[in-house]
A = this chain, B = another copy of it.
Amino acid sequence: MTMRIINLDHISSNPLLPEVKEAMIAAIREDYHNPSSQHKRGETAAEILEKSRETVAGLINASNPKEVVFTSGGTESVNHAVKGAALANAKKGKHIITSNIEHNAVIRSIRRLKGLGYTVTSLDVDEYGRVNPADVADAITDETILVSIMHSNNETGTIQPIEEIAKITRQKKVIFHTDAVDSVGVVPIDVQNMGVDLLSFASNPFYGPTGVGGLYVRRGTMVWPLIDGGVQENNKRGGTENLIGIIGMAAAAKIAKKKLPEWLAHLEKLKSKLINDLPKHIDEYIINTPPESSLPNLLSVSIKHIEGESVMLMLDDDDIAVSTRSACATGSLRASHVLISIGLSHADAQGTLVLTLGQDCGEDLARYLAIIPKNLKRLNLY
């Protein structure tokens, strides 16, 4: 029996849509052959693969489905984009621009490149985690080959002024990658309007399976494959495809494209309610999420005088799942680099809860919040 657990940690894991489950189960039963095989069974699989690509490309409004490379998730997409662009363009220069609040996928990819002789400018952000596009313009040199700034931040929900930055990178002819893993399928994303060259995304934020994602590669953008091998994915990524996962992602993308406005409205309503209810339950806190231009499903709250990890574990006893920071950073005891970068003290950073909502969250959200003070009292701080 599954326990009834309240999930306020959707950013770590969204449940699969019923239609996604159905599509994946049907794919498992069907036993598709290898899309690269040239006989009939291979062709059937290839048709489904390419149809899935069209659907996924539609979610981000790519002009050509071939601009979408299927990957094993957001982290692979980011590695492919950052390392692939840097290595492919080394002859032009070895300077990369990024921000101080990127996901570890970007930070650690860039760290590898530093070991290979690349130099990096990492931009400061304001108290809401925003990058100033003028800073990007100032940082670009003749050696700059890549700008990598995330679309939305997974700890604060901050959405960056990507279109403005893209205007600058286009003018300067520098490749622009954005990590949009927590944005695609959550807020409207249109790669044509945004003007980015590379965009990383994953399937789970829009209720598709984990371990599947995509990289948008604008036609003409020079990027080495991360995974070299066969000629799959238009020669951009070797390896037999995770077709079951891709079919699941496509099923999710189809629904996300249709329901996005409805989903957005639901999340915005819940988030407002959450923000309004907070003072009833908690005395001293800081909201780290910007009031405007932020993810509709994320609220980062630093509660004064507490240790977020303890609150998380106590809420867990009451069957409420929350997160103190990115699930990917588990095991690290240091305060989040994102929260320090927006100017929080170490104490406030440690007292931070990241509450993330989903379509399965109901209007009774405040009910769960009511449990928080009970727990805080257990900590003898309230």
Contact = CB atoms under 8 A, between A and B. Distances in A.
A209 B329 contact: no
A159 to B, nearest CB: 21
Interface stretch (A39-47, A50-58, A136-144): A39-47
A28 B13 contact: no
Interface in A176-205: 202, 204
A81 interface: no
Given A112-B224, A228-B105, A241 B211 contact: yes
**Interface size of A as a range:** 35 or more
A37 B232 contact: no
Contacts of A245: 211, 242, 244-245
B210 A104 contact: no
B329 A231 contact: yes
A73 B242 contact: yes
A108 interface: yes
Interface stretch (A298-306, A318-326, A369-377): A318-326
A363 B29 CA distance: 25
Nearest to A228: B108
A240 interface: yes
B328 A230 contact: yes
A116 interface: yes
| Most B Cβ at <10 Å: residue of A24, A309, A321, A327 | A327
